[in-house]
Structure 1
Amino acid sequence: MFYPCALQPDGDEALSWVSAELAKLKYRRSTSLAELLESWLASLIQRVVRTFSGESGTFSAFVILLTAAVFVLFAFFAFRYGTVWKKHRKISEHAPAHPALFSDARGSGELFRAADAALENKNPDLAVIERYRGVIRYLEEQHVISVLPGITALEAARLAVRAVGREKLFAENALRFNRIFFGYRHADNDAVALSCQFMTIVTELTLKPLTLPAERTG
């Protein structure tokens, strides 16, 4: 049995066969989102150039600029919230290094001493965190508030406000605690000084008898 001889195309013909084969759909890879965005942006820029150069009057310059502005805003927010998400993930990876808010069993005195020690060790973030914990624990020890498991810094502050007032004082220190505890800010000298002032004011408030509003008589 005889078989036909193998085809022996010349160079140009072989190249055309390979090109035709590779052009088939099965060899095409899917286009990524980044490539699609890049292609769309390039096309948009070309249209803007043609519009302002007078080569094309069919595409509204206003629509082009508006679309470009929307794209820039989208990119900005995607970058911003992507950065925040990475920060939250990084914080969660290191969360076991600090006791969660008020879950540890240390007394207020221990927490205040821990804050002083952190400051001596040049760790102002931990100093502010421990001092706020100490204030909340102190209020609990004085039976001013009752701290439940899982309570947040803001919730503890609201409980304290109901008991002793000074809403602005507690709100500012609770927000400062959250920013530092969750890694949004680092404590500077002002933050450390304000946390010490916060501790002093609260302890003085609880040493005085609480003044309740006088009942109105009809």
Structure 2
Amino acid sequence: MPSRRTAVLAALAATASAFVAPSLQAPKVAPRHALVEEGAFVPDMERRNIMNLILVFGGALPAVGGLAIPYLLFFIPRGGGGGGGGLPALTKAGDQVTFKSWLDSHQVGSRELVQGLKGDATYLIVDDNKQIRDYGINAVCTHLGCVVPWNKAANKYMCPCHGSQYDETGKVVRGPAPLSLALAHITDNAGVVTFTPWTETDFRTGLNPWWK
């Protein structure tokens, strides 16, 4: 028969075991391959980087190209009108100017702008004999590039920007413009008013053309 002391010790041991906290264990995490559907493609890091670059450049290149291409084209000289080639005079609407249509709608003494060589605004002049003068006068001021209007009352081209003045042939008569207005020959190409480059001596100054 067990002693009283042995019975007490057994009771204390049973009581202590009731206060022991259950062992803590980290929750089990399913392996990565178990989180995706079986057979699904999971790209590795290298493939992900390549895909990101494709997305970035695929969106950026069209935007950059759309801005850069017009900017670069701005610095490329326009074709036509260079060398010995002719270029038809064009109205503001982009229509070719014919001798007949122009003379039918413009009076003697008329000086009106059309698009000339290199796209520059150029004056067509109707002379007293009811004919278009055989040269056009470039309207771009040789000072800072303003378009110079014709002042009929003063019988001059007078720049509104800085006061430069040119006579009725486009020869500079007052600065700050340093040079006369450029010239272009006018020829008849099957009835179309056509500009060709003026490469010989400038009859107004006796000098080689500065715009050549």
Q: Identify the TM-score tier after normalising by the shorter chain.
A: under 0.3
Structure of larger gyration radius = 2
Q: Which structure carries more strand by proportion? A: 2
TM-score of the two chains, using structure 2 as the length reference: 0.24
Larger helix percent:
1
